[in-house]
Structure 1
């Protein structure tokens, strides 16, 4: 009994940025639960006004005009793509800057700013909800504003950098999985609550709650103790926007080191997974409403169920796998295979039952994301972690951009042939990511066979009893 209490107290003492991640992603999923439906509704209202019709967009699933529904779906898909582009482009630069700031000026600043930007964007969404005459391009303005302050990718990179400075290599994967699980817990709670709030009130209430959680995130992170060992005081704005930050970040990836090839391969493999993850979420609402006739509230519940399965997989089963010394590369490969299975089943779904079963596999597919992040974090010294994760968050924004463009282009193009065709294409991308992971492992093992163990590089992470993982060149 005392041992159990001791373990619980020990876990509580390790809590640092996890609540901040939870608050931020509650805000994100409140926003996500209302944003796509509002874009869809505004697109429908614009179409109805253009043809001087009295049809109700709330009952669009009962319309007999199939061509009209297809047009609205395509137009909504285009606006979703535009908003993603408007967020991603400015965020590309900000991500690299914030990653370098994390190494030079401490871990807190990159965690504080994104919440402020998202809160400002939420104010614009409230105005759009209340003022019907506001043009649809205001969605793009709000997205650009949040990107300029650093969005979800910058937040994740900042918080993972914080955890890296606050953990050992032996505990890092588990700490990462717990931190990552906060995003999924938020995904479980928020859509259900947001759906109920939206049904009972309005879009304005949902966006207001979202903005409140973003502000709460920034306040909480500002109160944390900075664990960074290389903190430097910011003297002026020129130091923040010095081009050196970009140069040093790029050097972190390309400079000569024994595991440079593996780092590059893992970043590319991670990018592919993130493109698919971003793209599938971008078209999920369209797929479920077009093919399974989901309502807005049903979509929210399904979205929550999806993240509930991810929470169980990452918060419970991944730490359990690490407890039994399962190597990160095996966990990552297992996650990729589960994701391929999930997307195949989901693409074939003709009813809610098969779609729900596919999510059971989809949850374990999230192992790939956490494992890739853990592998990358262990590949460089602590004073380069922020810069490397800044590059990783840069690829995350690239993935949002590419995911939106690719999936929102493929979905309307492939829908006449097979509604799930886009998901089948995604499975091919995941197979490529799996191949890159295997290649990284092969290169490392080949190099170890050629090297003399007595002359091993002392700067590499120390070996552990986990022989299979040590073959990858990382410690765990």
Structure 2
């Protein structure tokens, strides 16, 4: 009798243990499912940061090799002779660093103004279109990199065309700014703070994976293959955003409608629209603010531009 009771109690304990285990698995599955359903632009920002951190070291090596070809006409002869390479490496480094510096300038200068205009447009026009806009420039930039990798003896300064194109579409600052802006304006029930924290986590994770993948890809693949992979990922991002951003996310903000900005904006010509947005940019930066607010904004912009400019071409 006692043995039967002991066996029954053991069976009950095992059943309870299995039930709790199934509940934990079920709760975990529901949590993961709910998390995936709440995600909107997080996968896109992960893929973008991944390709960006793959692109940066590969681009530096690509420019350096193009500089060798530009000076010596045949990079293989230079690499095969170590002594000759050491004696003539200074002009190659100079050309490569100057090209990378110009690349930074061509990307930074136009993107500063376009990003500000995109931020103003997102308050009045379609958020979805503003979100997709910089990725179009990114894909056009990738196409130029592909062409440059096919024709390695083409003038090295044609690489700058990619930066000009990307900068005219807002550059990386426009992508990050519009994505954070989009996430911050989601309905309150979607927990905006959680979305922002998730985006920051995906940026860090994507950058880490990108740096790891950059070395592996550079050792095992040609520049053409790497640029093709980046282009394919950027196309996937563009398609994902087109399909994922729902119609209710694309509505005009209530603030713009209440203030009548949208109705007024529709009647303006294209030149007047750009003038309006540049005026908004000027007022944001230079209007009077209490407690030296204007001075702090200007100093922050100058510090960012100087640090970004001086860290390039090193």
Q: Is the 8 A contact 2:78 2:85 kept in 1?
A: no
Give the Cα–Cα distance (whole angstroms) in 2 for the partners of residues 261 and 195 of structure 1.
46
Q: Answer yes or no: is 1:54 the counterpart of 2:74.
A: no
Q: Answer yes or no: is 1:265 the counterpart of 2:299.
A: no
Structure 1 residue 158, shift from structure 2 partner: 0.4
Give the Cα–Cα distance (whole angstroms) in 1 for the partners of residues 294 and 45 of structure 2.
26
Q: Answer yes or no: is 1:107 the counterpart of 2:130.
A: no
Give the Cα–Cα distance (whole angstroms) in 2 for the partners of residues 16 and 24 of structure 1.
14
Give the Cα–Cα distance (whole angstroms) in 2 for the partners of residues 178 and 268 of structure 1.
30
CA spacing shift, 1:23–1:95, aligned 2, 3 Å? same
- Stretches of structure 2 that go unaligned for 5 or more consecutive residues are 1-23, 257-261
Task: Find the partner of 2:65 among 38, 41, 62.
Answer: 41
Task: Find the partner of 2:311 among 404, 407, 410.
Answer: 407
Give the Cα–Cα distance (whole angstroms) in 1 for the partners of residues 293 and 205 of structure 2.
32
Q: Is the 8 A contact 2:135 2:234 kept in 1?
A: yes
Give the Cα–Cα distance (whole angstroms) in 2 for the partners of residues 167 and 67 of structure 1.
62
Give the Cα–Cα distance (whole angstroms) in 1 for the partners of residues 72 and 307 of structure 2.
29
SS at match of 2:156: coil
Q: What do you get for the CA RMSD once the two structures are aligned?
A: 3.4
SS at match of 1:137: helix
Give the Cα–Cα distance (whole angstroms) in 1 for the partners of residues 84 and 310 of structure 2.
30
Alignment of 1:175-324 (within 5 A): 175-223=195-243, 224-225=245-246, 226=249, 228-230=252-254, 232=262, 238=270, 241-255=273-287, 261-262=292-293, 265=296, 268-269=299-300, 272=303, 275=304
CA spacing shift, 1:197–1:11, aligned 2, 3 Å? same
Q: Is the 8 A contact 1:30 1:207 kept in 2?
A: no
Give the Cα–Cα distance (whole angstroms) in 1 for the partners of residues 143 and 32 of structure 2.
40
Give the Cα–Cα distance (whole angstroms) in 2 for the partners of residues 237 and 28 of structure 1.
36
TM-score, normalised via structure 2 length: 0.74
Give the Cα–Cα distance (whole angstroms) in 2 for the partners of residues 124 and 16 of structure 1.
30
Give the Cα–Cα distance (whole angstroms) in 2 for the partners of residues 69 and 254 of structure 1.
46
Q: Which has the larger radius of gyration?
A: 2
Q: Is the 8 A contact 1:20 1:217 kept in 2?
A: yes
| The structure with more helix, counted as a fraction of residues | 2
Task: Find the partner of 1:22 among 24, 33, 46.
Answer: 46
Give the Cα–Cα distance (whole angstroms) in 2 for the partners of residues 74 and 173 of structure 1.
46
CA spacing shift, 1:3–1:133, aligned 2, 3 Å? closer
SS at match of 1:176: helix
CA spacing shift, 1:239–1:218, aligned 2, 3 Å? farther
Q: Is the 8 A contact 2:46 2:205 kept in 1?
A: yes
Give the Cα–Cα distance (whole angstroms) in 2 for the partners of residues 45 and 191 of structure 1.
26
Q: Answer yes or no: is 1:133 the counterpart of 2:164.
A: no
Give the Cα–Cα distance (whole angstroms) in 2 for the partners of residues 268 and 12 of structure 1.
40
SS at match of 1:105: coil
Structure 1 residue 29, shift from structure 2 partner: 2.8
Q: Is the 8 A contact 1:167 1:175 kept in 2?
A: no
TM-score, normalised via structure 1 length: 0.51
Post-superposition CA distance 1:200-227 (Å, at most 9, x none)? 3311111111112222222222230226
Q: More deviation in 84-93 or 161-170? A: 161-170
Post-superposition CA distance 1:331-372 (Å, at most 9, x none)? xxxxxxxxxxxxxxxxxxxxxxxxxxxxxxxxxxxxxxxxxx
Give the Cα–Cα distance (whole angstroms) in 1 for the partners of residues 110 and 117 of structure 2.
11
Give the Cα–Cα distance (whole angstroms) in 1 for the partners of residues 109 and 270 of structure 2.
22
